[in-house]
Structure 1
Amino acid sequence: MINSRETVKANDKSRVFAITGTPGVGKTSVAEMLRSRGYTVYSFNELAKKLDCIIDYEDECAVVDLEKLNTMLNMMFSPEGTVVVEGHLSHHIADTAIVLRCNPIQLKERLLKRGWKYEKVMENVEAELIDSILVEALEMCERVYEIDTTEKSVEEVAKAIISIIEGDIENEIYKPGNVDWISELEEKIDEIIRL
């Protein structure tokens, strides 16, 4: 949770890419792969803690002062560099959002295996089903891409992200709206929402 719905971005000259999405879609795994390939990748949550930008906790979620975080990032990031920030709120501070998506049925299984409370699992499954993070990213970022991670390996997702960062892709491949869980899973909605 954050304290503002407004977009706060790092230095306009920097290229800040967010790897965002509902918890469980593969953000952290992909971030680790990008780090191993030499990219500078920051965790949104770790940055907020390190830069003392957490102002409160609500329901076990940090409330982040985005304005302060943005100010700190402007001092920290090179004005001409490319920075990747990973986390389900990272699109709040980015120029470009790469929204990772996962089939809600598989997402539900992943989160239950992690031992999450059923209520929290269903909250996140619903958010994925209705494109919650994608909609936020579209409202807040200059450029938005969408990658369905359901049938892809971490390696494949990392390659897709690198192609976006490096500008080596056709815009249509990962354009927002390519993933539509409601239409695709219309017949299975009951299965998704019950245990």
Structure 2
Amino acid sequence: MSIRPWPNILLTGTPGTGKTTHAAQLLEALQAAPSTSTAPWQHLNVGDFVKEHQCHSGWNEEWQSWDVDEDRLLDALEVVQQPGAKILDWHTCDMFPERWIDLVVVLRCDHSQLWSRLEKRGYALNKIQENNEAEIMEVILQDARESYAEEIVVELRSESPEEMEENIGRIVAWVEAWRRDHAADDEP
């Protein structure tokens, strides 16, 4: 059982599947729900955190992204464990220790829709192709299943505003159930 009073949630998926949008809406929903509003909910966009806290070894020109220093990043994120109530948003999941995460949500998207989203972001063709291939091959979903207990990994579609709204509702309901299930852990 977790000793945190609130769960930590990892939203992951191929770039362009809606992680940051989901995280922002989830944060808003959790802060508004009477059963979860007392928690100190925080959205951590890990990519932004890497830049802000210099958890990288430099800029990679070929991929137009930072080369992440995972050890430095994990050291900087150690505070994630307590008191929980963190929504982590990143395109990979297998580097986070299992003990940190209570729910892993893998967002999925049809590859043709993903391609369009990445084009609109101005991604280079090689990045679009690599990310599209990763989505088709279910790379992040498989990483999640290999890195975390089966019962905490959830795959959700992210192709429309209706699906996003439904996903947010499911995650809020999960948080409420987690709190009920862990109520005994909160007692002294």
TM-score, length-scaled by structure 2 = 0.71
Structure 1 position 60 matched with structure 2 position 48: no
Q: Give me the identity figure in percent.
A: 29
Q: Is it true that 1:144 corresponds to 2:153 in the alignment?
A: yes
Q: 1:22 aligns with which of 14, 22, 26?
A: 14
RMSD: 2.3
- Contact kept, 8 Å, 1:43 with 1:85, in 2: the verdict is yes
8 Å Cα contact 1:48-1:54 kept in structure 2: yes
Give distance in 1, aligned partners of 2:124 and 2:52: 28
Q: Which has the higher contact order (CA 8 A, sep 6+)?
A: 2
Offset at 1:90?
4.5
Q: Does 1:89 align with 2:92?
A: yes
Q: Secondary structure at the match of 1:24?
A: coil
Note the 1:1-195 alignment, pairs <5 A. 13-14=3-4, 15-37=7-29, 38=31, 39-58=41-60, 59-74=63-78, 76-77=79-80, 79-93=82-96, 94-95=100-101, 96-142=103-149, 143-153=152-162, 154-167=164-177
Q: Point out where structure 2 has 5 or more consecutive residues left out of the alignment.
A: 32-40, 179-188
TM-score in terms of structure 1 length: 0.69
Point out where structure 1 has 5 or more consecutive residues left out of the alignment. 1-11, 169-195
Q: How many residues align?
A: 156
Q: Deviations over 1:65-114 (max 9, x none)?
A: 2223222222x336242311011125532523210000112111222233
SS of 1:77's equivalent in the other structure is helix
The Cα of 1:22 is off from its aligned counterpart by: 0.6
